[in-house]
Amino acid sequence: MNANQQNQEPLLPRTGNYRKLLTYQKAEAIYDITYYFCKNYLQRFDRTVDQMVQAARSGKQNIVEGSAASATSKETEIKLVNVAKASLQELLIDYEDYLRTRNHRQWENTSIELLKMRELGRRHNDSAFYMPLVRVRPPETIANMAICMIKQTDYMLFKQLQSLSEDFLKNGGLRERMTRMRLEKRK
């Protein structure tokens, strides 16, 4: 292999490891918390259970699928990350509905609980940290914890979408890469 071939960008770049994405890690923790919450605090045949678990799953899985599609379609990656964001917004409303319909307090922006949860959310992303905390909390606390985590993840997904969009505008997608590589090969 000559030096020119070694420096050449690959046609299909290796896609990032989604498990290293903080958005994925948080979405996985949200899914695990939601699964536990629904299993333990909602009625088994309540349609909301399926809706909440599926919204949490969709938030996580669309990050995975977007990451996997990124090598061949930046557009698909951006769309799927946005679907993840939308799914988590749906889940957010379900948790807010849970608190409101049961006359539980949703933590105010200045409450000590919310401030402490935000701090935990800034330092921890993995389910292994959150699940022991969740298992010893009442359902209204778990719902508030999930709301805080969803909002943090939503912001992170917004920033991820901005970054993906900027990268696409700067570097293009597969077609642009193919054209660029074909032109360089002809030189």
- Higher-confidence residue of 94 and 181: namely 94
Tell me the whole-structure pTM to 2 decimals.
Answer: 0.85
Q: What pLDDT sits at residue 135?
A: 98
Find all residues with CB under 8 Å of 175, minimum gap 6, and list them: none
Average pLDDT over residues 43-62: 95
1-34 pLDDT tens trace:
444 445 565 544 556 688 899 999 999 999 999 9
Q: What pLDDT sits at residue 183?
A: 66
DSSP per-residue codes, 57-124: HHHHHHHHHHHHHTTT-HHHHHHHHHHHHHHHHHHHHHHHHHHHHTTPPPPPTT-HHHHHHHHHHHH-
Print burial letters for 139-173: b (CB count within 10 Å at least 16), e (below 16). Answer: bbbbbbbbbbbbbbbbebbeebbeebeeeeeeeeb
65-123 pLDDT tens trace:
998 887 777 888 999 999 999 999 999 999 999 999 999 999 999 999 999 999 999 99
